[in-house]
Chain A
Amino acid sequence: MVPLDAGMTTHHLRASGLRKKFGGNEVIAGIDLDIEAGECFGLLGPNGAGKTTTLRACLGLIDHDGGTIELLGRAIPAEARVARERVGIVPQVDNLDPDFTVAENLLVYGRYFGLRERTIRSRIPGLLEFAGLGTRADTRIQTLSGGMKRRLTLARALVNDPDLIFLDEPTTGLDPQARHVIWERLRQLLAQGKTIFLTTHFMDEAERLCHRLAIMDHGRIIAEGAPRALIAAHIEPQVVEVYGDGARDWAASIGSKTAERCESTGETFFCYTQDADPLVHDLERRGSLRYLHRHANLEDVFLKLTGRELRD
């Protein structure tokens, strides 16, 4: 990793009072972000929460309407172009160049950074190996699987050896095997000292990778902290999920009276509690209801804070 310049801040991204409107609609309604060197920061939120817009504004790809952004010590959008020389970006929508092979994609992308041909060519084998595409240098993009494309997009984002990597929903649409490979690669990058800023709506992804999270909804950050701390601060530690025939009656008569809090989605009832034993004993005794007893996780926090209704 490139050592930080003497006297330069260790904040890789700082935004304060950030606002953005599309038409009359305030998509970012005044948020603060602070990402330090070497950390993995996750921005969580349902569809339409403003995650991608926030990311694009931080990169200077769209103009914001209020607040200030500093990316790697550069003011955004005024110095966005220069700041991006040290940034890698994995966008949500695949935009690999379909006219080129795997290796040509890396070569052409490296040229955009003004890197010398020799420098890029010397980096390509390592990048292909990192992406698990060592034998695919001359393969055309169309024949790659979704997972391969994602890995190549990640490798492409590293062609300029960036300090900070932005990933917008990096594993959306991938199968579990492919997701685990991406997570493993991101951990490698963190171990190398890279800083990561990712958006996701997969809670397990956020919980596994991120040192710190912010949950965003309707353009605002509604909670922020380490994954464990968020769970401890916002939700009871035990969950009993009850579903199927008779669940509704049970929830009304027993669940809601015994648990601290009960929520429902359709015919499934979620009872949140400090101590699940009385609930579990009651369910065991009845034997007729289907249930699941588990620890509370980030998804519970997320649903509590952003609600259970659909976001289309």
Chain B
Amino acid sequence: MTRNVLSPPGFSLRFIHVWRRNQLVWRKLALAAALGNLADPMLYLLGLGYGLGAMLPEVAGLPYVAFLAAGMVCSSTMMSASFEAMYSGFSRMHVQRTWDAIMNAPLTLDDVVLGEMVWAASKSVLSGMAVLAVAWALGLVASPLALLLLPLVFLAGLAFAALGLIMTALAPGYDFFTYYFTLAITPMMMVCGVFFPVEQLPAWLQGFIQFVPLTHAVALARPLMTGAMPADALLHLAVLAVYAGVGFYAALVLTRRRLLN
């Protein structure tokens, strides 16, 4: 009688209804969102990239601003997916009770969680691509291989959205997300190769960051932007895919436990 919270996800195309709901809300504010997506990376690239970069020699064989641009494609993706899955997701789940309303219709919680994850990833693609567009406009994109960033950013977005949804499933309130930002997002920002090469880190930390997703997103994005095929591409993709897949399942189990029992 009682459904097992651990039962496998019920995949269905019905998740598109959830995605479309969120997309319709986003469309109303799309202009402001697009401005934010563009202005934010522009400030970083101009300020840090050219300002700080002017004082630096080449970093990992690249002008610093080009080095930074590749990292920022990934960190913007991470931020955008995390914010959407946590703050917006929590609003829809807990505050507005939008998920309740959706589940009163013939959709399941599995449809809702999948829809939220794919939506957050979609939104993060826009953030990541906005950085790419700015970098291209500044002449920092060396090769059409950079177009492969689109699927890469989507996969990374899924991984960070899944992690964010786990936090949402556990959160008593918005304040809870501060822990995740302080303990996970900000450290990843700092040590996963966004601002400087990971080779600068002590060996133990270099080993540790092989287990976090942002490292692998950056390791794929930087060569693609500068026109090289990334080394160990399958390994990096596999790590991101495992985060997305296992993360989704964990988020689903935790959300089922929270809402269905």
A63 touches B2 (CB 8 A): yes
B100 touches A63 (CB 8 A): no
A62 touches B20 (CB 8 A): no
Complex CA–CA separation, A126 to B261 (angstroms): 37
Interface residues of chain B: helix, strand, loop or mixed (majority): helix
Answer whether residue B142 sits at the interface, using C-beta atoms and an 8 A cutoff.
Answer: no
A62 touches B260 (CB 8 A): yes
B99, closest chain A residue (CB): A95
Answer whether residue B105 sits at the interface, using C-beta atoms and an 8 A cutoff.
Answer: yes
Chain A residues with a Cβ closer than 8 Å to the other chain, count: 30
Answer whether residue B31 sits at the interface, using C-beta atoms and an 8 A cutoff.
Answer: no
Answer whether residue A228 sits at the interface, using C-beta atoms and an 8 A cutoff.
Answer: no
Q: How far is the CB of A86 from chain B (nearest CB, A)?
A: 9
How many contacting A-B pairs (Cβ < 8 A)?
71
Complex CA–CA separation, A63 to B7 (angstroms): 14
Question: Which residues does chain A contribute within 8 Å of B178, judged by CB atoms?
Answer: none
Complex CA–CA separation, A91 to B17 (angstroms): 21
Q: Digitize A61-87: 1 where CB-to-B-CB distance is under 8 Å, 0 elsewhere.
A: 111111000000000010001101100
Chain A CB within 10 Å, residue with most, of B1, B2, B96? B1
Complex CA–CA separation, A114 to B14 (angstroms): 8
B107 touches A97 (CB 8 A): no
A91 touches B108 (CB 8 A): no
Answer whether residue B250 sits at the interface, using C-beta atoms and an 8 A cutoff.
Answer: no
B21 touches A108 (CB 8 A): yes
Complex CA–CA separation, A91 to B102 (angstroms): 12
Within 8 Å by CB of A95, from B17, B24, B100, lies B100
Contacting A at CB under 8 A, from B238-261, are 260-261
Within 8 Å by CB of B20, from A61, A82, A91, A111, lies A111
B4, closest chain A residue (CB): A63
A112 touches B98 (CB 8 A): no
A64 touches B1 (CB 8 A): yes
Within 8 Å by CB of A91, from B3, B25, B28, B104, lies B104
A112 touches B105 (CB 8 A): yes
The answer to whether A97 and B101 touch (CB under 8 A), given A82-B106, A104-B24, A108-B21, is: yes
Contacting B at CB under 8 A, from A35-71, are 59, 61-66
B104 touches A97 (CB 8 A): no
B98 touches A89 (CB 8 A): no
Question: Which residues does chain B contribute within 8 Å of A59, judged by CB atoms?
Answer: 104
Complex CA–CA separation, A136 to B109 (angstroms): 32
Within 8 Å by CB of A100, from B25, B106, B260, B261, lies B25
Question: Which residues does chain B contribute within 8 Å of A112, judged by CB atoms?
Answer: 17, 21, 102, 105-107
Complex CA–CA separation, A56 to B52 (angstroms): 59
Interface residues of chain A: helix, strand, loop or mixed (majority): loop
Q: How far is the CB of B248 from chain A (nearest CB, A)?
A: 20
The answer to whether A84 and B106 touch (CB under 8 A), given A64-B1, A112-B17, is: yes
B108 touches A81 (CB 8 A): yes
Answer whether residue B190 sits at the interface, using C-beta atoms and an 8 A cutoff.
Answer: no
Answer whether residue B228 sits at the interface, using C-beta atoms and an 8 A cutoff.
Answer: no
The answer to whether A113 and B24 touch (CB under 8 A), given A63-B261, A95-B101, is: no
A84 touches B20 (CB 8 A): no
Within 8 Å by CB of B3, from A63, A94, A95, lies A63
Answer whether residue B103 sits at the interface, using C-beta atoms and an 8 A cutoff.
Answer: yes
Question: Which residues does chain B contribute within 8 Å of A65, judged by CB atoms?
Answer: 1-2
A63 touches B260 (CB 8 A): yes
A61 touches B103 (CB 8 A): yes
Chain A CB within 10 Å, residue with most, of B14, B100, B103, B105? B105
Answer whether residue A7 sits at the interface, using C-beta atoms and an 8 A cutoff.
Answer: no
B107, closest chain A residue (CB): A112
Answer whether residue A93 sits at the interface, using C-beta atoms and an 8 A cutoff.
Answer: yes
Complex CA–CA separation, A63 to B109 (angstroms): 13
Complex CA–CA separation, A65 to B261 (angstroms): 10
Question: Which residues does chain B contribute within 8 Å of A94, judged by CB atoms?
Answer: 97
Contacting A at CB under 8 A, from B1-55, are 1-3, 14, 17, 20-21, 24-25, 28
A113, closest chain B residue (CB): B105
Question: Which residues does chain A contribute within 8 Å of B100, judged by CB atoms?
Answer: 91, 93, 95
Contacting B at CB under 8 A, from A201-229, are none
Complex CA–CA separation, A65 to B21 (angstroms): 33
A112, closest chain B residue (CB): B105
Within 8 Å by CB of B106, from A66, A91, A95, A114, lies A114
Closest 9 CB pairs of A and B: A112-B105, A95-B97, A89-B104, A95-B101, A99-B25, A63-B2, A84-B106, A85-B106, A81-B106
Which B residues are closer than 8 A to A by beta carbons? Answer: 1-3, 14, 17, 20-21, 24-25, 28, 96-98, 100-108, 260-261
**Contact sample, A vs B, 18 pairs, CB 8 Å cutoff:** A61-B103, A61-B104, A61-B260, A62-B260, A63-B261, A66-B1, A91-B104, A93-B97, A95-B97, A96-B101, A99-B25, A108-B24, A111-B17, A111-B20, A112-B106, A113-B106, A114-B106, A160-B105
